[in-house]
Copies of this chain bind each other. A is one copy, B any other.
Amino acid sequence: MKPAIVLLSGGLDSATVLAIARDEGYAPHALSFSYGQRHSSELEAARRVASALGAVEHRVAEIDLRLFGGSALTAEVEVPKDRDLAAEDEIPVTYVPARNTIFLSFALAYAEVVGAQDVFIGVNALDYSGYPDCRPEYVAAFEEMANLATRAGVEGARLRIRTPLIDWTKAQIIQRGLELGVDYGITISCYDPEGELACGRCDACQLRLKGFAEAGASDPAPYVAR
C-alpha cells in the first residue's frame, strides 16, 4: 500500500476523507494540529477517528497560531450563533489566517519524510465558500508550489494535493461516509462545544445538521439539549 498523508481534524469532513483514502488503497498517515484551539475535544476526536478508520500512524504537530491572534477559533472572540448562512457572503470571523497553508506545509514535510506523493485534505468549496483557502484555485496553486518546494518534486515525482470533497454538498459527504462505514458519532464539528456536546447553533453545527437532514440520516453525535 502506498503511503498518503491525511489531514485529520476530528470533524466530519476529514473523517470521510480518511475513509476515502483507505478505500482507494492508501496506507494513511494522519496528521493533526494542536494550535491553541479553545477546546481539546477536537484533538480527542481526531485520535478516535484515526484509530477507528485504520490510520497506520497519527502524529500531532504543536504549533502556536495564537501568536498571531485574529480568529474566533484561537483568540477570545465570540463564536457567532444562529447566523443565517444563506445570507452571508463575508469571510467569517472563524477564519484563521493562512491556516490551510500552514497545515498543508507541515503535511508536505511529513510526505517528504515518509515518501508519500499524495496529501489528502477535506476542504470544501461549497459549504465554506467564505474561506479563501478552501477554493480549487488555491489548492491547485498550492500543489504547483509544492512540486517546486520539495526534493521529491525536484527529482521528478509528482506530489498531489487530493481534495475528494471539494465540490460535494455536505449531504453527499455524509452519504459517501456512511457507505464507507464511518461512525460519525465519534467526530465533532462544533466551533464552541460544551465538553463533548456540540452546541447545534454555530456555523459548523448548522451546516452539519442540515447535511444530515438532506442525506436522510440522523446525526449520531451528542448535542446540547435544547
Binding site for B on A (CB under 8 A): 59, 61-65, 67-70, 91, 95-102, 104-106, 108-110, 112-113, 132-133, 135, 137-138, 141-142, 144-146, 148-151, 153-154
Residues of B within 8 A of A132 (CB): 148-151, 153-154
Minimum Cβ distance to chain B for residue A145 (Å): 4
A37 to chain B: closest CB distance in Å?
Answer: 15
Q: Tell me which of B70, B113, B144, B148 contacts A97 (CB under 8 A).
A: B113
Partner pick for A70 among B59, B70, B104, B112, CB 8 A cutoff: B112
Contact B97 A109 (CB under 8 A): yes
Q: Which residues of B contact A65 (CB under 8 A)?
A: 109
| Contact B70 A113, beta carbon cutoff 8 Å | yes
Measured in the bound complex, the distance between the Cα atoms of B66 and A61 in whole Å is 10
Q: How far is the CA of A153 from the CA of B97 in the complex (A)?
A: 12
Query: For residue A65, which residue of chain B has the nearest CB?
Result: B109
Copy tally for this chain in the complex stands at 2
Complex CA distance for A68 and B137, rounded to whole angstroms: 28
Q: Cβ of B68 and Cβ of A113 under 8 Å apart?
A: yes
Nearest to A136 among chain B residues (CB) is B148
The CA-CA distance from A142 to B150 in the complex, in Å, is 13
Q: CB distance A97 to B112 under 8 Å?
A: yes
Which of A96, A105, A142 neighbours the largest number of chain B CB atoms within 10 Å of its CB? A105
Q: Name 13 interchain pairs, CB-CB below 8 A, sorted by A.
A: A61-B63, A70-B112, A70-B113, A95-B151, A97-B112, A98-B108, A100-B149, A101-B109, A101-B146, A102-B105, A104-B105, A133-B150, A142-B145
Choose among A68, A70, A137, A138 the residue with the greatest number of B CB atoms under 10 Å from its CB.
A68
CB distance from A222 to the nearest CB of B (A): 32
Complex contact A108–B97 (CB within 8 A): yes
> Quick one: closest B residue to A138, CB to CB?
B148
Q: A95-B151, A98-B105 are in contact. Are A144 and B146 (CB under 8 A)?
A: no
